[in-house]
């Protein structure tokens, strides 16, 4: 373990350094952070919709939505690029900030879609996510071989998203959604398998183990959120 981490007792959560910390406990803590992020996002989105703040903040001033999206992208880039340099505390703060920014953006969906539809799609997302998470956790297949295909899928979705800003892509909407659903289901299995790899690699470095846990929580959070959005676009019932 890096001696610099041992010199500062406040640089990491001591519970991560316990020798008896099992893989299942580590996974549970990673998922606890993911669930915390999802809870913040959806509760904030609901609160802004119920209070009418979404109309004041996003609909009356649409440029704020673009600012929020840029801020979200910046947080993810900073989080990913500097995971080895900033402390675990900073990682936690960035993750929670991202969850809150996403909650503000998500409040729009409570305006555009029926609440019953949002709840149903959330439940369906949880079901699919759970199934592929379990597969990724217990499969003996090396899912890292999927990475090139997943990157190609992400590029396809990104290009389709950019093109939709300039041309009518409604004819390909269902195809795009199906690709998005498949891509993020596969990412769910892939990222769950990576949790085990991170645990084995950083087991003797408490500080890095903690940061890896939060980083994995962000990846799972993004998998769930994107899967939810593509299922919502594919099956959701919008308001008239």
Q: Over the stretch 20-47, which tens digit does the pLDDT of each residue have? A: 578 888 999 999 999 999 999 999 999 9
Residues contacting 126, CB < 8 A, separation 6+: 224
**E strands in 81-229:** none
pLDDT at residue 203, rounded to an integer: 81
pLDDT at residue 19, rounded to an integer: 46
CA-angle at 119, arms to 118 and 122, nearest 5°: 85
Radius of gyration for the alpha carbons in the chain, expressed in angstroms and rounded: 19
pLDDT in tens, 110-157: 888 888 999 999 999 999 999 999 999 999 999 989 999 999 998 999
Residue 142 has φ and ψ, to the nearest 5°, of -80, 105
**Once rounded to an integer, what is the mean pLDDT over residues 1-18?**
44
pLDDT in tens, 61-82: 666 766 767 777 777 777 666 6
CA distances from 93 to 65, 71, 74, 76, 189 (A): 22, 14, 14, 12, 26
Instruction: Tell me the sheet residues that pair with 238.
Output: 113
Global confidence as pTM: 0.84
d(CA 52, CA 138): 44
**Once rounded to an integer, what is the mean pLDDT over residues 229-233?**
92
pLDDT at residue 22, rounded to an integer: 82
pLDDT in tens, 186-219: 999 999 999 988 888 888 877 788 888 888 999 9
pLDDT at residue 127, rounded to an integer: 96
Is residue 238 helix, strand or coil? strand
Percent of the chain at pLDDT > 70 equals 82
Residues contacting 41, CB < 8 A, separation 6+: 99, 100, 102, 103, 106, 225
**Once rounded to an integer, what is the mean pLDDT over residues 92-107?**
88
The mean predicted confidence, pLDDT, of the chain is 83
pLDDT at residue 3, rounded to an integer: 37
Eight-class DSSP state of 58: I
């Amino acid at each position: 373990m890096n001696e610099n981490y041992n010199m500062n007792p406040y640089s990491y959560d001591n519970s991560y350094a316990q020798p008896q910390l099992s893989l299942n406990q580590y996974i549970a803590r990673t998922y606890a952070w993911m669930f915390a992020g999802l809870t913040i996002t959806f509760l904030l989105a609901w609160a802004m919709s119920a209070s009418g703040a979404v109309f004041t903040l996003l609909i009356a001033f649409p440029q704020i939505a673009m600012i929020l999206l840029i801020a979200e992208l910046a947080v993810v880039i900073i989080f990913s690029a500097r995971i080895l340099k900033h402390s675990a505390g900073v990682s936690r703060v960035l993750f929670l900030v991202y969850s809150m920014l996403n909650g503000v953006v998500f409040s729009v969906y409570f305006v555009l879609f029926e609440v019953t539809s949002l709840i149903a799609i959330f439940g369906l997302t949880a079901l699919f996510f759970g199934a592929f998470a379990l597969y990724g956790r217990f499969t003996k297949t090396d899912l890292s071989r999927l990475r090139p295909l997943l990157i190609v899928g992400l590029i396809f979705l990104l290009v389709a998203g950019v093109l939709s800003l300039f041309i009518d892509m409604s004819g390909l909407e269902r195809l795009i959604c199906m690709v998005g659903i498949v891509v993020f289901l596969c990412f769910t299995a892939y990222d769950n398998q990576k949790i085990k790899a991170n645990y084995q690699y950083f087991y003797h470095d408490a500080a890095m183990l903690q940061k890896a846990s939060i980083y994995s929580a962000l990846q799972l959070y993004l998998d769930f959120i994107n899967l939810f959005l593509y299922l919502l676009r594919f099956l959701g019932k919008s308001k008239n």
